[in-house]
Structure formats: structure tokens, C-alpha cells
Structure 1
Amino acid sequence: MKRIFLSVLLFVFVLGLASCGKTSEFDVETQTEIVVGLEAAYAPFNWATPTQNDFTVKLDGQSNMYVDGFDVVMAGEIADALGLELVVKAIEWDGLIPALLSGEIDLIIAGMSPTAERAQTVNFTDEYYRSEQVIVVNTDGNYSNATSLSDFDGARIVAQLGTLQDDLIDQINNVTHLDALNDYPTLTTSLTNQAADGFVAELPVAQGVVQSNPDQFTYISFTEGNGFTVSDADVAVAVALRQEDVTLLALINDILAGISTETRNGYMEAALTRQPQA
């Protein structure tokens, strides 16, 4: 799923932060709040909104702005079970792990996949969601009837910067791998302007994009053997913690074990109905 660092320099940077950041273990008994970091720009997992509802949490440091989405609901479940106040900070994707290692935040709940590379610097809980990788295309484009990656031979494909999805593009034969873009609004604009033929996304994100633009976009889901080759970690989403927070890790795993797959899927379906409409 989401996502994978591409820069060796960034990897060295976060290792440096690990050595100078927070080193004491998170103590649930003495803490009163738990701080979660996410992008607030990755619907239906998380998005910023000026409108408060029963699911939103105020964005820390931002007046009159809230955050909603599947990740927020899951974060609320975890905080409530721990007996802590939930604080949510909006942080750009590449800044999330540095923020965790420095102690600015306590958890990353942001649609992050537990890749082996990330696991060198952070710990991951058990998965809290599982998805698949698809390609979003224009409904009236040349690829709206595609059924396999081979149908995208020669296509111009793009993805978000610093993500697994950007790496997956190279699995398409003769693909024109466009420069990665910063966020999903920019990716959808690239389709609207016909600067790209499609972009790679995980299924809930693609569903959200299509739901907001049903006449303009559709997504191509692949049957087994016709789509992307991914590892188990690539299709899972987990909570990231600092490596020293082993007690907190065990507590969150216990909490996640008590939330059924049906309940989680219900949370995602509800987030899809609440997400911003274009």
C-alpha cells in the first residue's frame, strides 16, 4: 500500500533522528494524551475539513480545522481504549517518520504500509486494513476498458511522490513513467488535463476519487496474475511507533484484535460516504 521512501539520504537522516530523538518509553499510566501524525490529505483514510461532525478531531495548531477519515476513526478507537485524549497533527508524508523519531508525535496512523525498509527505524503494529493496487483512468480515455497491466503498454502513468505506487509503475511494459506528484488532488488534475493516462492508487483512495468524479474517472482492478506483483506488506496498513515503545505496541495490537474486519470495513465504507466531494 502506502508507501516507500526513495531517498537513501532521507534514510540516513531518520537514522540520525533516532539517535537524538525521544528515547524513553511511552508510559500509558502517566500520559494524558497520545499524539497521532497523518497527512490530512489522503481521503478516505484522512482529510482536513472546516466542518465539525461526530467523527472529526480538531487539527492541532490549526484554528477552525478538523480532520476526518478512516484513520481518524481508528485513532479514536485506540486512544479511547488506552484512556488517553487524542491529539492529531497534520504532517507532510516525508516528515511523518522524522516527526515520530523526534518525539513530535507518538504514532503514525496514515495509511502507511509496514515495509522492511521502514521497519529498520520504526516498529509496526499488526495490520489495521488491507487493500489492493489499482489504476485510476479517465472514463472516456484509451484505457477505460483495460483488464491487465499489459493493456497499459505505452501508457503515461504517474503516482504520488515517495510511495509504493510510484515504484509499481515500472512493472508495466514500455510504460512512460511520469515524474511523481505531491498529492492526489494534483494527480487527479493530471488526468483531467490529459497530462497522464492514469495513476496508481490503493483501492479505497481510487474509490474515493471515482465517487467524487463518477462521470470523469473510473479505476481498473485486476484479477490475480493480471495486476501488480506486491508483497504482503504492500497491501497492508499498520500503525507505526518508535522502536522503544514495546509496551504501547502490545497494547495497540490487543486493541486492534478486538476490532473485527467487518467493523473496520464498515468504518471505511462510512468514510467513503463522508469524504469531500469535488
Structure 2
Amino acid sequence: MKLKKTLALGLVAAMAASFTACGSTAAESAADSTASGEAAAEAAADAPDGDGDPTTLTVAMECAYAPYNWTQSDDSNGAVAIRGSSDYAYGYDVMMAKKIADALGQNVQIVKLDWDSLIPAVMSGDVDCVIAGQSITAERAAQVDFSDPYYYASIITLTKKDSQYASAASVADLAGATATSQLGTIWYDNCLPQIPDANILPAQETAPSMLVALSSGACDIVVTDRPTGQAALVAYPDFTLLDFGGGDNDFQVSDEDINIGISMKKGNTALKDAINEVLATMTADDYNTMMDEAISVQPLSE
């Protein structure tokens, strides 16, 4: 996974060192710490909540997009109950939601919605935020505010090991392939049209249905992001993953296509700032470790 985020930890450390060099006293440091804690508490209190409970962070996701999020029947591995359901949600997005809620002193409530309903739920105030593997596109950013990226998702192609495209080394080598991907994603809208003479099938409603289409032979290839592809290899051992390595031979995508962010209602600066503070404490290794853990415990990997 290509993680490109420049974290703020170095700046924080430098600022702390400069305050020490200026001779701040222990009492002043304690006062600063108290003020910082009060500011964080105020941010948590000011952040609106989808169910009207200020102690709860309400988070929407598909619960059908492993390894980012999925549905399971129990609370194993720390899964969180889905609102209005006897099922639970887990995955990378749930792990991230719990980390953010812990920092805000809140509980997490997961709301299961289909992909096209996620942004409307934020805009209406039904949920506080969406953590669902959303790319930070200009179109979406015109409707909602986004946090800093919480993941960077490089683009890959999946095909079967015995496919004529299994040895493809570039997008050009996929010429003529019958292809599909998930509805409303940059994979379908931006990437598939770049394949020469592709036979592009209708988009699939969900990531699982996209994978079923490939497994059943309805298509030759699907285009998705690396975490989804890595998770698919566990569930479908007859799949192979093609990574064209970037550059001219790869799908041409912008940063907004692969930067994955957390969306919230326009103007909710308190929540946005609080989320960004949490993300600023995380490293590339933290992101990768969390994603590896999510892949290892997804239901189809057991």
C-alpha cells in the first residue's frame, strides 16, 4: 500500500522542544496540558451526533466491503453492534471508528447503509460521519467535509490464475477484456474506460458481488484497490492480483482518487479537527498493521 501522508508528529515534537528551550516551567506545562485537554473535550461535546446522544459517535458504512468493513453475527474481535440489527460490524473502518471515539471519550454506533446512501446520511445529520473507504473526490468534497486521509489505496486488477490476462504487465495488456467493478467508484468510472476495447459490463452494487462476477466467469477482470484485492485472494484462492506499479503502464489516477477520507457534514469543524488530531498521531506502520489485522480476521479468511 502506498502511504504518502506527512504526519504532524515531528512538528509537535519540535514545538514541545522549543517551549522547553524557552524555559517554560512545570506549572506552565501543566496549564498547557489542561487547556489542551479542555479543548479536546469541547470538540467532542460540540460534535453533533446522529442519534442525538453526545456520548455516541454514529458512523455509517456499507458493512459489506471487506477488509474495510463487513457484517458478522457476533462481537468477536471487538466488533460493534449495527443500529437496528442483531448483527455486528467489523473491519479496518470499525477499528478506526473505535480509535477516534476513544480519543473523544465516546462510544461507537455503526449504521449500515448502501453505498449511495452514505453521503446523504451525513448531509441530513442522521449520522456524524462516514468511514467507508471513500475516495476524497472533488464531487464528494462539494457535498461534505473530509478529514485528512486515513488510508491511501493504490489501484490493482484481479483476474483468475488461468485467465489469458493473468500475465498482463500493463493496462494495455488488458485490451479486449470483459470487465466490471463496483457502482459509484473510481474503479468503475475512471479506470475501466482506460482499458483499450474493453467490454465494460454494468457496475456491481457491492464489492462482494463484483468478486462473485469474476469468480463465476461473468467477466475476465475486476479493478479495485489493494486492500480489497488482498482480502479477495484469501476468499478466492484461484484469483491472482495484478499490480502495474504506477507510471505510464498503470491506470492513471489522481491523488483524490486514492486518498481515502472520513466524511462529515459541511461546517462540522469541531469533529473534523478532532478526527485529524487522532490521525496525526498515527504512522504508516500503524495503518498497515491495522489493515493486515483486518484482513486476517475477515470472516472468509477463517
Gaps of 5+ in 1: 1-24
CA distance in 2, matches of 1:187, 1:96: 19
CA distance in 1, matches of 2:92, 2:153: 13
CA contact 1:157–1:178 (8 Å) conserved in 2:
yes
Offset of residue 51 of structure 1: 2.7
1:185 aligns with 2:208: yes
Gaps of 5+ in 2: 1-45
Q: 227, 233, 238: which is aligned to 2:261?
A: 238
CA distance in 2, matches of 1:191, 1:119: 32
CA distance in 1, matches of 2:74, 2:121: 27
CA distance in 1, matches of 2:63, 2:211: 17
Q: 98, 105, 123: which is aligned to 1:101?
A: 123
Matched residue SS, 2:89: strand
Offset of residue 55 of structure 1: 2.4
Aligned pair count reads 251
Structure 2 counterpart of 1:234, which letter? D
Give deviations 1:62-83, integer Å, cap 9, x for gaps. 01x1111000000000000001
CA contact 1:155–1:197 (8 Å) conserved in 2:
yes
Structure 1 counterpart of 2:202, which letter? D
Matched residue SS, 1:54: helix
Match of 1:74 in 2: 96
CA contact 2:65–2:208 (8 Å) conserved in 1:
no
1:140 aligns with 2:167: no
Match of 2:198 in 1: 175
Relative to its length, the structure with more helix (as a share) is 2
Q: 222, 227, 232: which is aligned to 1:204?
A: 227
1:41 aligns with 2:64: yes
Q: 47, 60, 67: which is aligned to 1:26?
A: 47
Structure 2 counterpart of 1:57, which letter? V
Offset of residue 213 of structure 1: 1.4
TM-score by length of 1: 0.87
Match of 1:163 in 2: 185
Matched residue SS, 1:186: helix
CA distance in 2, matches of 1:161, 1:231: 19
Offset of residue 185 of structure 1: 2.2
CA contact 1:212–1:276 (8 Å) conserved in 2:
no
Give deviations 1:35-83, integer Å, cap 9, x for gaps. 00000000000000003223211111101x1111000000000000001
Give deviations 1:194-223, integer Å, cap 9, x for gaps. 110011110000110011111x11111112
1:219 aligns with 2:257: no
CA distance in 2, matches of 1:54, 1:137: 31
TM-score by length of 2: 0.81
Structure 1 counterpart of 2:163, which letter? G
Offset of residue 27 of structure 1: 5.0
CA contact 2:48–2:128 (8 Å) conserved in 1:
no
CA distance in 2, matches of 1:153, 1:95: 34
Aligned-CA RMSD value: 1.4
Task: Name the % identity.
Answer: 36
CA distance in 2, matches of 1:124, 1:201: 22
CA distance in 1, matches of 2:145, 2:210: 30
CA distance in 2, matches of 1:191, 1:34: 36
CA distance in 2, matches of 1:27, 1:199: 38
CA distance in 2, matches of 1:130, 1:188: 21
